[in-house]
């Protein structure tokens, strides 16, 4: 039976591929929001509580640093499984979009925290001092100086985070969240439909390239140095 194919791809798979693409975008999109919401404050805390920071607090800094390193030393696939009970409690389910987003957020917060930390450390100490000398409160220094001046660096860090997240989302998807990773495994690996796998790869490559390009462009646009 000579079915029509597009470069070997069975056209009846196309709706599945589009759905999977959409699922990946949703998963990554929601996860990015959650990661930024927690990762930015975490990064700020890592910087301001450090020695010589504007809210120096050595014990808190050490605890946070330890937790971040702890979080980052877990292989994602293990964290994914270990978190199942927590995911069920927090999200009400361990499968689908909701089930996949939660472990993604938890896994990426420490990574994002470090990205934010390193972006904020690029801000010249002199600017912080100038703001303090003008009577700025610690909150004003954080929002109006640290985060604002570090914006290009924060965007670069976020870009890196999103791209690793796309990779991670394939794993989370395989555990029940759907998405391109799941599709590639089910059709490409389990059913030996190589064209499906290649199609998902092409989509992932385009996605990564686009995000990198967008991130670079935005960071350059906002970098006034």
Nearest distance from C-beta of residue 43 to other proteins, angstroms: 18
Of the candidates 91, 136, 163, 208, which one interacts with other proteins according to CB under 8 A?
A: 136
Of the candidates 26, 95, 132, 163, which one interacts with other proteins according to CB under 8 A?
A: 132
Nearest distance from C-beta of residue 137 to other proteins, angstroms: 6
Stretch that binds other proteins, among 83-91, 93-101, 146-154, 156-164 (CB under 8 A): 146-154
Q: What is the DSSP string of the chain?
A: -----BTTB-GGGHHHHHHHHHHHHHHHHHHHHHHHHHHHHHHHHHHHTSTTSTT--HHHHHHHHHHHHHHHHS-HHHHHHHTHHHHHHHHS-SSHHHHHHHHHHHHHHHHHHHHHHHHHHTS-HHHHHHHHHTT--HHHIIIIIIIHHTHHHHHHHHHHHHHHHHHHHHHHIIIII-SHHHHIIIIIIIS--HHHHHHHHHHHHHHHHHHHHHHHHHHHHH---
Asked if 13 and 196 count as a contact pair (C-beta separation under 8 A), the reply is yes
Secondary structure of 169-192 in the HEC alphabet?
A: HHHHHHHHHCCHHHHHHHHHHHCC
Is residue 55 a contact point for other proteins (CB under 8 A)?
no
Within 86-125, which residues bind other proteins (CB under 8 A)? 124
Is residue 221 a contact point for other proteins (CB under 8 A)?
no
**Minimum CB distance to other proteins smaller for 73 or for 224:** 224
Residue 207 to residue 103: CA distance in whole angstroms: 22
Is residue 144 a contact point for other proteins (CB under 8 A)?
yes
Is residue 134 a contact point for other proteins (CB under 8 A)?
yes
Nearest distance from C-beta of residue 9 to other proteins, angstroms: 47
Distance of CA 188 to the CA centre of its chain: 26
Token pair recorded at residue 75: 């292989």
Is residue 7 a contact point for other proteins (CB under 8 A)?
no
Is residue 130 a contact point for other proteins (CB under 8 A)?
yes
Number of residues that bind other proteins (CB under 8 A): 21
Is residue 151 a contact point for other proteins (CB under 8 A)?
yes
Stretch that binds other proteins, among 9-17, 18-26, 68-76, 135-143 (CB under 8 A): 135-143
Of the candidates 57, 140, 164, 212, which one interacts with other proteins according to CB under 8 A?
A: 140
Nearest distance from C-beta of residue 56 to other proteins, angstroms: 12
Residues that bind other proteins (CB under 8 A): 124, 126-127, 129-137, 140, 144-145, 148-149, 151, 222, 224-225
């Amino acid at each position: 039976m000579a079915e029509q194919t597009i470069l070997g791809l069975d056209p009846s798979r196309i709706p599945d591929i589009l759905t999977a693409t959409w699922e990946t975008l949703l998963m990554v999109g929601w996860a990015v929001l959650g990661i930024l919401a927690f990762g930015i404050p975490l990064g700020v805390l890592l910087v301001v509580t450090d020695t010589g920071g504007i809210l120096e607090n050595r014990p808190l800094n050490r605890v946070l640093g330890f937790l971040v390193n702890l979080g980052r030393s877990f292989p994602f696939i293990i964290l994914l499984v270990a978190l199942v009970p927590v995911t069920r409690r927090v999200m009400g389910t361990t499968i689908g979009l909701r089930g996949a987003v939660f472990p993604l957020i938890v896994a990426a917060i420490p990574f994002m925290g470090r990205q934010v930390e390193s972006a904020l450390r690029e801000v010249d100490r002199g600017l912080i001092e100038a703001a303090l000398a003008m009577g700025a409160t610690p909150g004003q220094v954080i929002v109006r100086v640290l985060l604002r001046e570090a914006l290009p660096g924060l965007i670069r860090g976020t870009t890196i985070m999103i791209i690793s997240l796309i990779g991670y989302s394939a794993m989370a998807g395989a555990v029940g969240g759907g998405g391109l990773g799941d599709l590639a495994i089910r059709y490409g690996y389990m059913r030996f439909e190589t064209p499906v796998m290649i199609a998902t790869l092409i989509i992932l490559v385009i996605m990564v390239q686009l995000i990198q390009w967008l991130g670079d462009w935005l960071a350059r646009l906002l970098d006034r140095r």
